[in-house]
Amino acid sequence: MNKRAGIGFYIFLVVFVFFVMFPFIWVFLTSIKPQGEIFNNFNWFTANPTLDSYVNAVERRPLFRYMLNSFVVSTLTTIIAIGFASIAAYALTRLPIKFKGLILGIILAASMFPQIAIISPIYNFVSDMGLRNSYMGLVIPYITISLPLSIWILATFFKKIPWELEESAKLDGATPFQTFRKIIFPLAAPGVFTTGILVFIAAWNEYLFALTINTADKWRTVPVGISFYQSQFTIPWGDISAATVIVTIPIVILVLIFQRRIVAGLTSGSVKE
């Protein structure tokens, strides 16, 4: 459907993008207002922009520590999940395995599991292993989210790689593992990378496990850390706005660089070619 875009269409686009971005715009404008102007004042722009809120946001709470925690946990999760999932997805799409439908069904079901249904046994397990308030304490439960998700997405990408290459590799005497490593993996690398980004974002955003397992402030991740900026009595909106801007910047960069890949990954799992 290659309709031409008229002027009305562009006006619609601008309005649409403005509405979607409005919360970010407003939060950013708030973050550079002086404390006194945040309350009882709905002016869009301040005459005296200041970075006080940013200084407070990182001094009153260990925001950079939260970001480091999130980064380490998400990276470890991504590496482990992709490692296991790429092997499994390859086998599921290529090798003659019985009960493929059933296995894929289990994997899909697992990716939709409500986290609340598994949190208490996972909590007991992590506590028994002495892993509360540590990186591994979060990486292990995050496998529950990321492994099924990555198998599911990777399977779609692997499907698109032509069979012929594999057959010729087989004829040349390559073992299935060699075929995987030398032929499939290089061809599948873009798909693997895309899946990696999605898994990374999913792990970065996770809240429930992070809230229950890593309760010490030092070990909190970004989402939990941000939600604890508000205390019982006061809500320092200036600090929160600044903190929100700081933690959103890496995501904006990630999205700007990889937007095509992200869209490809998101849609591959749900749309038939």
Partner 1 sequence: MVAPALILVILVTLWPVAQSFYNSLFDYRLTDPSRSERFTQSNIDLERYATEYFYISRDLEDLSAQAPDDETAQAVNDIQTEIEAFHSELIEMDGLEEQYGEVDEMIASFTAISDRDLKYAEVDNDWAEGYKDFLAASNEELIALSEGAPEEDFSTTAGNVAGTLDTINSAVIESNFIGLSNYSRYLQDARMWQSLLNTFIFTIASVAVELVLGLAIAILINRVFIGRGVVRASVLIPWAIPTAVAAMMWGFLYDGQTGIVAHYFEQFGLINDASVLLSTANGGMFSVIFADVWKTTPYMALLLLAGLQTIPGSLYEAAEVDGAGKWQQFWKVTLPLLKSAILVALLFRTLDAFRVFDLIYVLTGGGPANSTESISIYAYITLFSQQNFGAGSVLSVIVFLCVALISTLFIKFIGSDLFEGRSR
Q: Write out the binding residues for partner 1, residues 201-220 only, by CB under 8 A.
A: 201, 204-205, 207-208, 212
Q: Considering only the stretches 71-79, 140-148, 165-173, 186-194, report the one whose residues sit in contact with partner 1 under the rule CB under 8 A.
A: 140-148
CA atoms within 13 A on the CB side of 92: 26
Q: Considering only the stretches 55-63, 90-98, 130-138, 165-173, report the one whose residues sit in contact with partner 1 under the rule CB under 8 A.
A: 90-98
Using the rule CB under 8 A, is 119 a contact of partner 1? Answer: yes
Residue 217 DSSP one-character state: G
Residue tagged 């709470």 (tokens) = 61
Using the rule CB under 8 A, is 263 a contact of partner 1? Answer: yes
Separation between Cα atoms, residue 268 and residue 149, nearest integer Å? 12
| Cβ 218 to partner 1 shortest distance, Å | 18
Pick 124 or 168: Cβ nearer partner 1: 124
Q: Considering only the stretches 55-63, 130-138, 181-189, 241-249, report the one whose residues sit in contact with partner 1 under the rule CB under 8 A.
A: 241-249
Pick 118 or 187: Cβ nearer partner 1: 118
Distances (CA, A) of 210 to 150, 159, 240: 20, 34, 19
| Cβ 47 to partner 1 shortest distance, Å | 18
Distances (CA, A) of 110 to 44, 145, 196, 264: 46, 8, 18, 22
Q: Considering only the stretches 55-63, 131-139, 188-196, 229-237, report the one whose residues sit in contact with partner 1 under the rule CB under 8 A.
A: 229-237
236 phi, psi to nearest 5 deg: -75, 85
Using the rule CB under 8 A, is 173 a contact of partner 1? Answer: no
Using the rule CB under 8 A, is 114 a contact of partner 1? Answer: yes
Copy the structure tokens of residue 249: 């910047």
| Cβ 173 to partner 1 shortest distance, Å | 19
Using the rule CB under 8 A, is 36 a contact of partner 1? Answer: no
Separation between Cα atoms, residue 41 and residue 158, nearest integer Å? 55
Separation between Cα atoms, residue 122 and residue 136, nearest integer Å? 13
